[in-house]
Amino acid sequence: MSNYVCIGGQYGDEGKGRVVDLLSNRFDVVVRFNGSCNAGHTIWADGKKWVVHLMPSGVLHSGTSNVIGPGVLVDPKVLTEEINMCIDGGLFDSNSTDRLVISPLCHLVFWHHRVRDGVNDIGDNWVGSTKRGVGPAYSDKVSRLGVRIADLLHLSFDQLREKLKAVSGDAALPEDRHLQKWKDIIKPFVGDTTEFLLNKDEEGKRILFEGAQGYGLDIDFGSYPYVTSSNCVAAYAAVGAGVPHSLLGETIAITKAYSTRVGTGPFPTQLNRVEDERLRHLGGEFGATTGRPRACGWLDLVQLRDARRKTGFKYLALTKLDIFSGLDNVKACIAYKNVSTGEQRITPLETAEQWEGWEPVYVDFNNFGEIPYQLSSLEELPSTARQFVTFVEQYVGAKLAILSYGPERESALILEGLE
């Protein structure tokens, strides 16, 4: 078995796009299985920055097939823009049906979903959504009122608008010219993604399942209700890609060396204003999708260990270690402590309200040292940085497979487990 699932171990933005891009040349197929254009993957290749929201991160490697599985919500406007960007950038053309395959079962997100997202996500229930219409579109899906790519291809536009009217009224229904444009651009790439993946597997090709968002935002296991609307755990890769779970292989979880969060919701290791600002600027922590500043905190090992227990990842990819270069003091959270009773726990609390009166217990890593510009092994790390990495592996119970210490493709060590 040489397929892998790659998921976020934190609150999203862990650098999954970068890791998948790094791994893509070892895999023949990259599949997106959850989320929507609420995700934004930033990839640097040959000095050029690419930001993709729906496109699997394998598109930048010419030998890789990219699949958008049925678990992904597709905004047709965003998808067609990204297809055009790839065509204009010379990555593929509209005959490249082995480079991009899109499931006809993907549900669609329309403008009215964005409007509803903006209206719902205010007041006491404010989640800080990306306003990409994701919650309302997933709601329509489970309410059995959704519209899928298959509908765009096979229904008349009037029939399609009738379906949309059931939930949106007359508001912001897409015009024929838009529907026609989306249909023309998307259609050549639509295919039976299950068949495609099973055939690739039978031919002995390697498949990488690429998750969006992260464990802390999972609809079932994250900090509900401050979560996204799909599952981000590895098990969902089978559902969202439309394949038997026996195809999945091992899981690799991505984590930054510190934590970030956008939107609202509990963030136990969040730093005070001055330190938060410092880490944000050192790490360039502004959202790829919304440009929003991300709140910053120390690495929460309790959360990561919990993610390992519930998703079963065997390997870790640690990103942005270089951001700690030269810092006098770095911390990692190893428990939560109740300030009144002194009780300590190593599992997260279940409700946002319960966090009141709990604080993180930290372990310190002093004099972090300078991370070299180029590394050929972990032994070349300064001693504190090396201790930090070993501590993370041991606490979480997973093996470090990738260490990323800069934005360029070269600034990463691929260690083991992925051969």
From 395, 404, 399, select the one nearest 417 (Cα to Cα).
399
From 329, 337, 341, 263, select the one nearest 298 (Cα to Cα).
329
Q: Is residue 213 a contact residue for ligand IMP (CB under 6 A)?
A: yes
User: Which residue number, 31 or 39, has a Cβ lying nearer to ligand IMP?
Assistant: 39
Total binding residues for ligand IMP by CB under 6 A? 21
Residues 120-139 that bind ligand IMP (CB under 6 A): 127-130, 132, 134-135
Catalytic residue among 13, 28, 300, 306: 13
Region binding ligand IMP by CB under 6 A among candidate stretches 11-19, 276-284, 308-316, 367-375:
11-19
Nearest distance from C-beta of residue 113 to ligand IMP, angstroms: 10
Residues 229-268 that bind ligand IMP (CB under 6 A): 229, 262-263
Of the candidate residues 6, 7, 9, 13, the single one contacting ligand IMP (CB under 6 A):
13
Region binding ligand IMP by CB under 6 A among candidate stretches 146-154, 225-233, 241-249, 352-360:
225-233
Helical pair 111-120 and 134-142, crossing angle rounded to 10 deg: 110
Residues 35-54 that bind ligand IMP (CB under 6 A): 38-40
Please say whether the beta carbons of 75 and 112 come within 8 A: no
Nearest distance from C-beta of residue 229 to ligand IMP, angstroms: 6
Of the candidate residues 7, 217, 271, 307, the single one contacting ligand IMP (CB under 6 A):
217
**Distance (Å, whole) CA 224 – CA 211:** 19
Region binding ligand IMP by CB under 6 A among candidate stretches 85-93, 223-231, 275-283, 373-381:
223-231
Nearest distance from C-beta of residue 419 to ligand IMP, angstroms: 29
372-407 in b/e form (b: 16+ CB < 10 A) is eeebeeeeebbebbeebbebbeebbebebbbbbbbb
Q: What is the DSSP letter of 242?
A: T
* CB-neighbour burial class of residue 155 (10 A; exposed 0-12, middle 13-18, buried 19+): middle
Nearest residue relative to ligand IMP (C-beta): 263
Nearest distance from C-beta of residue 259 to ligand IMP, angstroms: 12
Place of tokens 């990306």: 130
Please say whether the beta carbons of 18 and 42 come within 8 A: yes
Please say whether the beta carbons of 213 and 219 come within 8 A: no
Catalytic residue among 28, 41, 113, 300: 41
DSSP per residue over 62-75, as a string?
TT-EEEE-TTS-B-
Region binding ligand IMP by CB under 6 A among candidate stretches 8-16, 148-156, 340-348, 388-396:
8-16
Structure tokens at 49: 């920055």
Nearest distance from C-beta of residue 22 to ligand IMP, angstroms: 19
93 is catalytic: no
User: Which residue number, 40 or 242, has a Cβ lying nearer to ligand IMP?
Assistant: 40
* CB-neighbour burial class of residue 4 (10 A; exposed 0-12, middle 13-18, buried 19+): buried
Q: Is residue 296 a contact residue for ligand IMP (CB under 6 A)?
A: no
Nearest distance from C-beta of residue 35 to ligand IMP, angstroms: 7
Helical pair 176-186 and 157-168, crossing angle rounded to 10 deg: 110
41 is catalytic: yes
Q: Is residue 7 a contact residue for ligand IMP (CB under 6 A)?
A: no
User: Rounded to the nearest 5°, which phi and psi values hold at 219?
Assistant: -60, -30
Q: Which sequence positions are flagged as catalytic?
A: 13, 41
Site for ligand IMP, rule CB under 6 A: 11-13, 38-40, 127-130, 132, 134-135, 212-213, 217, 226, 228-229, 262-263
